[in-house]
Amino acid sequence: MATPPAGRILAAVSGGPDSTALLIALHESGHDLVAAHYDHALRDGSADVARQVAELCARLGITLISERRTEALPKVSLQAAARKLRYAFLDRARAEAGADVVALGHTADDLVEGVVLHMLRGCGIAGFRGMPARRGHYVRPFLNVWRKDLRDYLLVRGIAAYEDPANLDPRFARVRVRHLILPALERDRPGIGQRFHSAATAATRMHEAAATAAAGPTTRRRLRRLPEPVAAEALKLLYIGAGGSDPGLSRAHIAAMLSLAEPGRGGRGVDLPGGLRFRIVGDLMQVVPSRRVSGDPLRLQVKTCMGCDDRGAAHLRAGLALRLGFRSPGLRLRPVGGRGSRKLQDIFVDARVPREDRDAWPLVFAGEKLAWVPGLAVDADLASRHGEPGVHVSITPMQVPTAPKVVRLENPTSPRAPGAGRARKLGDLS
């Protein structure tokens, strides 16, 4: 059994052999322990199971938090509905018990069954690794322990656990994998379950490497140093971290993202499901919303100013008819500190502003002439001169999109300062 984290543990006890063995093993190991049992009230006799769990906890001197379902099942599959209610109860019980983690009784067999289910549906590294040993405050200490060893463990102690008849119902995909598919594979290839488990363990290590790669700024240089399966998983995690669904990316999406990670110029991207877009800005890879969500209306604020150090504003000549707008073809200006007139498109490219951000970038015009590109450039012909009366121009709320590694072409506020992350037998669980 893997050693659970220090602190109080809430043991989820269904009354079956696996969770019963977990409860006893944690108790014999001297952990600060509270038990939790949820009665789904789905079949006759469930109240008897709840009573057996309560009697066992009383014999062991373990506090039990229990609950029986009274609400209607969510409108999803029976197993999914039961799982949703069970985990909601465990979250409440953890809070009531003041426990640091919730221990679940999933075994090495459950891990292998999960891997086979994921393979049947089609999966990447994350699916092949099966259930993780820890996710949030849920831990699974028995993922390296086989179900047979747990039954032997209980037999030695003279404990008879409840056998759920649902575990024999072939209507459920996991039951078919457990009693039909895996036994057939084992007859043809003895030891294949153990090999699945070893492969899942290796996939876990690869997934952890991918999670580490996706934890910091994800650059093309970092990604290219990874094996391709790990790089693909890192991109999936980047997508999920931006709000994408899991699973949500097809093989074609991953292939396109990997292709864009190859050497080449930045500013490129590919649309992804869920209104997201993968883009490369310089060497940095990001997943961002495909369309910028409109917020409060932008307002132009203008006040008299002889010049100040507000870098979020521009200082323009007095008397100009200023208005807010957005880009259109042919716009250009003569930036302060620059040489000659430049296209707005070139200013965006040099500042590495992603293509999808450019249409949403607010601009300030003096009549029809572009006067200020907030954060990037102010027109030298329209900028106020030091010591002369001018106007302090700002935009509220300031919603200029942020461009990573923006290269400033000049000081946009004033011309005064230019440039300025082997399955084993149960053994001794105590």
Task: Please tell me which residue, 16 or 164, carries the higher pLDDT value.
Answer: 16
Same fold, 9-195 and 216-289: no
Instruction: Determine the Cα–Cα distance for residues 32 and 37; give it in Å rounded to an integer.
Output: 17
Question: Is pLDDT of 363 > 80?
Answer: yes
Helices 228-241, 251-260: crossing angle, 10 deg rounding: 100
pLDDT surpassing 60 at residue 408:
no
Strand 63-68 relative to strand 33-39, pairing:
parallel
Is it the case that residue 427 has pLDDT exceeding 50? Answer: no
Nearest Cα residue to 48 out of 157, 161, 124, 158: 161
How far is 214 from 235, CA to CA, in rounded Å? 7
The first and second tokens of residue 19, run together, are 């969770």
Sign of the Cα torsion 338, 342, 344, 349 reads negative
- Tell whether the model's pLDDT for residue 258 goes beyond 50: yes
Looking at the DSSP assignment, which residues form a beta bridge with residue 379?
A: 335
Domain 216-289 bears CATH identifier 3.30.465.60 = yes
Domain boundaries, the chain: 9-195, 216-289, 299-396
- pLDDT, residue 342, reads 92
368 token code pair: 């029809």
CATH of domain 9-195: 3.40.50.620
Q: Does residue 213 carry a pLDDT above 60? A: yes
Lowest mean pLDDT among 87-101, 189-203, 338-352, 404-418: 404-418
Q: What backbone phi and psi angles, to 5 degrees, belong to 358?
A: -70, -40
Residue type, 66: S
- Provide the pLDDT confidence category of residue 65 given band limits of 50, 70 and 90: very high
| Stretch 292-305: mean pLDDT | 74
Per-residue pLDDT for 307 more than 80? no
Q: What is the pLDDT of residues 322-340, one digit of tens each?
A: 998 888 888 999 999 888 8
CA gap 422, 415 in Å, rounded = 68
With residue 281 as reference, give the H or E element that holds it. Answer: strand 276-281
The residue among 22 and 232 whose pLDDT is bigger is 22
Q: Give pLDDT, residue 214.
A: 62
Average pLDDT over residues 305-326: 85
Residues in the chain: 430
Using pLDDT thresholds of 50, 70 and 90, give the confidence band for residue 169: confident
408 vs 87, residue with greater confidence: 87
Q: How confident is the model at residue 356 (pLDDT cuts 50, 70, 90)?
A: low
Given a cut of 80, whether residue 52 has pLDDT beyond it is yes
pLDDT value for 402: 46
Residue 44 has pLDDT above 60, yes or no: yes
Nearest to 373 by CA among 317, 309, 338, 325: 325
**Closest residue by Cα to residue 21 from 137, 132, 152:** 152
Q: Which residue has the higher pLDDT, 218 or 422?
A: 218
Predicted confidence at residue 18, as pLDDT, reads 95
The encoded tokens of residue 188 equal 């043809």
- Helix, strand counts (H, E) of the chain: 14, 18
pLDDT averaged over every residue in the chain? 83
SS3 assignment, position 102: strand
Q: Residue 165's CB: how many other CB atoms inside 10 A?
A: 9
Reported as a single tens digit per residue, the pLDDT across 78-125 is: 888 899 999 999 999 999 999 999 999 999 999 999 889 888 877 666
Band (pLDDT 50/70/90 cuts) for residue 364 is very high
In this predicted structure, the answer to whether residue 420 has a pLDDT above a threshold of 60 is: no
CA separation for the pair 82, 71 (Å, rounded): 11
User: Residue 293 pLDDT > 50, yes or no?
Assistant: no
Tell me the HSE value of 57 on the side-chain side, using a 13 A CA sphere.
Answer: 23
Residues 144, 2 contacting (CB under 8 angstroms): yes
Residue 211 or 343, more confident:
343
pLDDT over threshold 90, residue 59: yes
- The pLDDT value given to residue 32: 95
pLDDT at 158 over 50: yes
> Which spans in 228-340 are helix H?
228-241, 251-260
pTM reported for the whole predicted model: 0.56
Q: What is the pLDDT of residue 295?
A: 56
